[in-house]
Amino acid sequence: MSTETLLVELGTEELPPKALKSLGLAFRDGITGGLRQRELGFGEVQWFASPRRLAVLIAEVQLEAPDKDIVVLGPPLERARDASGNWTPAAAGFAKKQGVEPDQLQTIDTPKGPRLGLRSTVGGVTTKDCLNDIIQGSVQALPIPKRMRWSDNRVEFVRPVHWVVAMLGQDFDHGEILGLTTGNTTRGHRFHSSGAITLDRPEDYIDALADARVVASFEQRQQMIRDQVEVEASALQATAVIDQDLLDEVTGLVEWPVALTGSFEERFLEVPPEALVSSMKEHQKYFHLVDGEGRLKPNFITISNIESKDPVQVISGNERVIRPRLSDAAFFFETDKKTPLADRVQQLESIVFQQQLGTLSDKTQRVVKLAGALATRIGASGELAERAALLSKADLVTDMVLEFSDMQGIAGSYYALHDGEEAEVASALAQQYWPKFSGDRLPQTLTGCALGLADRLDTLVGIFGIGQAPTGSKDPFALRRASLAVLRILVEKNLDLDLRECLELTAAQYPKNIIADGTPGQVFDYMIERFRAWYEEEKIPPEVFKAVSARNLSRPLDIQRRVHAVHAFTQLPQAPALAAANKRVSNILEKLEENHLFSDVSANLLVEPEEQALSEQLKALAQTCQSHLDKDEYTEALACLAGLRTTIDAFFDGVMVNTEDQALRNNRLNLLKDLRDTFLQVADISQLVVSK
């Protein structure tokens, strides 16, 4: 079958750098998805994304999809003719619908018997005929939150589009895309190239752009930047800190990357390094350097989009630009230190946290009491936690944080040390915001944990309490992230707190009539539900969490241990049979009337060998199992109970539970309840039976 190379390129004004990678990948997936949908085969796929273009180059694209054999089934053969041999209305109607006479229908064998039907062959689509639709569909599916218009047309895209290349081999006549006629001309670097570049073949695309000082491949350009940055850093015997998000953004800013190293005065190193890094990274898109001990060096690496004949002038220009930013940071730092954090707390009275929940001062007072109470429960100093909570939001009114918002907490930590606060208090001010995102570090100190928990719990209870729980994709107060942060701190820092009690304690800090009744329970259910996503990421089956959550537990650390124990149990060969047995026991016990009274098992009523064996083995395992449970060794406890499998199977094979003898029946039900209660000490194993 004939094939050709396909090239599609959208030439635009500078695209949003932070979104460039996702746009490039989405454009690739849209084109390849369109080909697959039409059953058009293809070979190697390359995607390209630079500030002025999105493109896809696909080798060996089939020019025509294969023919398709289509079978349309009609009524069963036995209903095709009546007793006189004439076509029935069902057969005649089916033939008419297919546009043929009944005599042209065929008998087709199916798993359900012979049926009347029609076989036909439909020719496959041609790539040329559907290429415009494929491109249009890919463009419309791009993840663009807000499209714009330009000039006097009604076309919309993320940025103005100036040219469209669509080449299937040497054929570039494929209609209009975004109001432009497709062609075979592209453009090079905005400054290092001039005029249109005519492509004779799609295969010439990469080399033609390289000659015009454009590295079209996002991945190749990114690797070039990484390599150049590392070379520049090694020349200073330093290490470049290459943040992936910054690397993606810088890759989206340049088409011909050239790394240049600049410097700034060492006096700026007296400023908190986080502020300097923020200035360089967020405002100027520079990579910062550190020495062998991780200390910031007075240098930076910038990525230029031009290959200058006088790079010294480019470096000098960047140094002139960054110097005022660093000077501002130094000025803010020195100015802020003149006012102790404790003296700034009063200013929080004028800052609204949430209209119904009061000011930041109100929140601070609640968090002070809560942090102190939580600290004593986890073995930390309540006094230090309360002091940290009192100062926790004071840096929000400093000049440093007002200018560099990502310095909140960090600035407070530096100012607290300068004010002579305890080191534990100072570190907690920065750690209160950890983790900031999924996978981020956790607070290192118990004081930091207490403050971080108290701050988030106060927000969760308050926002839920005024009826503003997250709905769908809307979560303006980031309550999902706060919930996962609380769970991570409790679980990963081994803090065995009762979450339900913590939420009740949090609600108690609010004045009456501020939050709705039942809020702690609502927040508790919401937070425990976050565990589902947690375990999905760990590839733990949902029925495992369901088995544990059926216990209505409220200590996240305990839940975590049980979930992993049950997950380990599911890997045992005895697990399926034991789960099924527990399900059978649950079904039997659930059918009893609510007023049925259970009692201890009577040994003299155990008449069958199988029920005697089960009772004896349960008693024999009880002490060992309990010793494991006392130490929260749930994995070991379940492994111990796994030994019951053979005995349980024998019981159900040899004993009739619902015997007519009421005394025997009740005794056997008591035995089954003991069996179920034994497993329930860890989890409801019956939930492991997946419904079909």
> Final residue of a domain: which of 539, 559, 586?
539
The C-alpha angle 223, 226, 229, rounded to 5 degrees, equals: 145
pLDDT reported for residue 132: 96
Same domain, 531 and 638: no
Q: Per residue, what are the HEC states of 553-579?
A: CCCHHHHHHHHHHHHHHHCCCCHHHHH
What phi and psi values does residue 46 have, to the nearest 5 degrees? -125, 135
Establish if 556 belongs to a structural domain: no
Token pair of 405 as six digits = 């918002």
Q: What share of the chain is helix, strand, coil (3-state, %, to 5)?
A: 55, 15, 30
Establish if 216 belongs to a structural domain: no
pLDDT reported for residue 690: 62
Establish if 154 belongs to a structural domain: yes
Establish if 561 belongs to a structural domain: no
Taking only the tens place, the pLDDT of each residue in 558-604 is 999 999 999 998 998 888 888 888 888 888 888 876 667 788 888 88
Establish if 447 belongs to a structural domain: yes
pLDDT reading at 58 higher than 50: yes
d(CA 4, CA 11): 22
pLDDT reported for residue 89: 93
d(CA 16, CA 602): 77
Averaged over 163-187, what is the pLDDT?
Answer: 96
Domain of residue 529, CATH code: 1.10.3210
pLDDT reported for residue 290: 97
Averaged over 104-117, what is the pLDDT?
Answer: 90
Query: Model confidence at 283, in pLDDT bands (50, 70, 90)?
Result: confident
Query: Model confidence at 135, in pLDDT bands (50, 70, 90)?
Result: very high
**3 state DSSP class of 186:** strand
Averaged over 346-368, what is the pLDDT?
Answer: 96
pLDDT reported for residue 604: 87
What range does the domain containing 229 cover?
Answer: 224-336
Q: Lowest-confidence range among 103-117, 168-182, 245-259?
A: 103-117
Question: How many domains does the chain divide into?
Answer: 5
**3 state DSSP class of 443:** coil
Q: Which candidate, 464, 441, 589, places its Cα nearest to that of 514? A: 464
Say if residues 1 and 148 touch (Cβ distance below 8 Å). Answer: no
Same domain, 390 and 316: no
Taking only the tens place, the pLDDT of each residue in 209-234 is 999 999 999 999 999 999 999 999 99
How would you classify the pairing of strands 176-177 and 106-108? unpaired
Please confirm whether the linkage preceding 114 is cis (ω < 30° from 0). Answer: no
d(CA 55, CA 215): 12
pLDDT reported for residue 592: 79
Same domain, 145 and 35: yes
pLDDT reading at 200 higher than 60: yes
d(CA 489, CA 175): 58
pLDDT reading at 398 higher than 90: yes
Same domain, 203 and 250: no
Cα–chain center distance at 119: 48
Q: Lowest-confidence range among 89-98, 312-321, 621-630?
A: 621-630
d(CA 154, CA 218): 30
Q: What residues does 171 pair with on adjacent strands?
A: 168
d(CA 410, CA 427): 9
Query: Model confidence at 607, in pLDDT bands (50, 70, 90)?
Result: confident
In whole numbers, what is the pLDDT of the chain averaged over residues?
93
pLDDT reported for residue 582: 86
pLDDT reading at 470 higher than 50: yes
Establish if 607 belongs to a structural domain: yes
CB hemisphere CA count around 480 (13 angstroms): 14
Same domain, 316 and 245: yes
Same domain, 255 and 281: yes
Same domain, 35 and 141: yes
pLDDT reading at 131 higher than 90: yes
pLDDT reading at 691 higher than 70: no
Token pair of 33 as six digits = 């998805």
Instruction: Name the range with the highest mean pLDDT among 41-45, 436-440, 602-606.
Output: 41-45
d(CA 281, CA 264): 15
Which of the pair, 586 or 165, is modelled with greater confidence? Answer: 165
pLDDT reading at 554 higher than 90: yes
Establish if 678 belongs to a structural domain: yes
Same domain, 229 and 304: yes
d(CA 408, CA 402): 9
> Final residue of a domain: which of 211, 241, 262?
211
pLDDT reported for residue 595: 63
How would you classify the pairing of strands 53-62 and 45-50? antiparallel
Same domain, 666 and 585: yes
Query: In b/e form, how buried is each residue of 87-105, taking b as 16+ CB within 10 angstroms?
Result: bbeebeebbeebeeebeeb
pLDDT reported for residue 320: 95
Same domain, 10 and 106: no
Beta-carbon neighbour count of residue 134 at 10 Å?
A: 23
Taking only the tens place, the pLDDT of each residue in 404-431 is 999 999 999 999 999 999 999 999 999 9
Same domain, 516 and 456: yes
- Where do we find the tokens 């996702």? 22
Q: Which candidate, 95, 178, 163, places its Cα nearest to that of 132? A: 178
Averaged over 594-623, what is the pLDDT?
Answer: 85
Establish if 439 belongs to a structural domain: yes
- Where do we find the tokens 């009944």? 102
pLDDT reported for residue 433: 97
Query: In b/e form, how buried is each residue of 415-432, taking b as 16+ CB within 10 angstroms?
Result: bbeebebbebbbbbbbbb
What whole-number percentage of the chain has pLDDT above 90?
Answer: 73
Query: Model confidence at 282, in pLDDT bands (50, 70, 90)?
Result: confident
d(CA 641, CA 357): 50
pLDDT reported for residue 692: 47
Say if residues 547 and 683 touch (Cβ distance below 8 Å). Answer: yes
Query: Model confidence at 7, in pLDDT bands (50, 70, 90)?
Result: very high
Query: In b/e form, how buried is each residue of 207-224, taking b as 16+ CB within 10 angstroms?
Result: ebbeebbbbbbbeebbeb
- Tell me the C-alpha to C-alpha distance, in Å, between residue 334 and each of 13, 296, 330, 406, 414: 43, 19, 6, 18, 11
- Tell me the C-alpha to C-alpha distance, in Å, between residue 43 and each of 6, 291, 480, 521: 10, 47, 42, 56
Cα–chain center distance at 148: 29
